[in-house]
Amino acid sequence: MSFPRARTAVAALLVAGATALVSPAHAADGHRALSRFDDGSFETPKAPANAFTNLTTGQTIGPWSITAGNVDLIGAGFWQAAEGDQSLDLNGSTAATVAQSFTTVPGTTYSVTYALAGNPGGGPAVRTGRVLIDGQNFQDFSFDVTGKTRAAMGYVGHQFAFVAQGASTTLSFGSTVAGAYGPVIDNVQVTECKPCCGG
């Protein structure tokens, strides 16, 4: 993770933080990559270069499912990605929610990090959304696209932690802004915290 160890240590349940995104994250000491969580970078399937693919409720993006509305999977070159080539606009023609379920160990604390920006092509300045764990709202987010461009998206890193309640956990990202210009997410990572952020 690009988050300092001290920050992670105080990242208790529901305590959220935001820092400037530095680089693609890697597991810090004491964290183990969670093998069953996959493609938080939205790299598969490939959308057309310099374009995007609209996907709607019931369709999938690799391990992610679209559970409400429709999204635009942004192909390489259309705008800057935070990691790899592709990213996800959480509004296609309307607000959407995407979800992925993955294996967890009950009682274990996990850290979720993601990069947030917004579609700079139009719409209201501030894009809003939320992150849910097993359907419960864990973090509201917002991003102001003022001054941002497709070449300089201005991604900001966000983080929160949760304690798994079951052997499977569902992580969801949902837009809460109307219209066709949504928050943009990329580089979602889930790491098991032991022992550094479990307190």
Q: What is the DSSP string of 24-55?
A: S--PPTTEEE-TTS--TT--SSPPPTTSEEEE
62 touches Ca ion (CB under 5 A): no
**CB nearer Ca ion, residue 38 or residue 134:** 38
What number of chain residues touch Ca ion (CB under 5 A)? 6
Give 109 or 114: the residue with its C-beta nearer to Ca ion.
Answer: 114
Nearer Cβ to Ca ion, position 66 or 193?
66
Going by the DSSP 8-state scheme, the letter that residue 185 receives in this structure is E
Strand partners, 154: none
Rounded CA separation 139/17 (Å): 10
**Given the complex with Ca ion, which of 41 and 65 has the nearer CB atom?**
41
Which residue, 33, 11, 156, 50, is CA-closest to 102?
33
Q: Could you say which of 2, 8, 41, 128 contacts Ca ion (CB under 5 A)?
A: 41
Smaller CB distance to Ca ion: residue 72 or 83? Answer: 83
The minimum distance between CB 40 and Ca ion, in angstroms, equals 8
For tokens 């160990």, the residue is 105
Residue 89 lies near Ca ion (rule: CB under 5 A): no
186 is a site residue for Ca ion (CB under 5 A): yes
Residues with Cβ within 8 Å of 101's Cβ and at least 6 positions away in sequence, in order, are 168, 169, 170, 171
**How far is Cα 36 from Cα 27, in angstroms, rounded to an integer?**
15
**Residue 75 or 120: which CB sits closer to Ca ion?**
75
Pick the piece of the chain touching Ca ion (CB under 5 A) from 24-32, 37-45, 114-122, 136-144: 37-45
CB of 151 to Ca ion, least distance (A): 16
Candidate list 72, 83, 89, 192; residue touching Ca ion; CB under 5 A: 83
Query: Could you tell me the CA-to-CA distances from 33 to 25, 29, 64, 112, 148 in Å, in that order?
Result: 11, 11, 18, 11, 32
Beta bridge partners of 61: 64
Q: Which of 17, 84, 123, 198 binds Ca ion (CB under 5 A)?
A: 84
Shortest distance, CB of residue 86 to Ca ion, whole angstroms? 5
Residues that bind Ca ion (CB under 5 A): 41, 81, 83-84, 86, 186
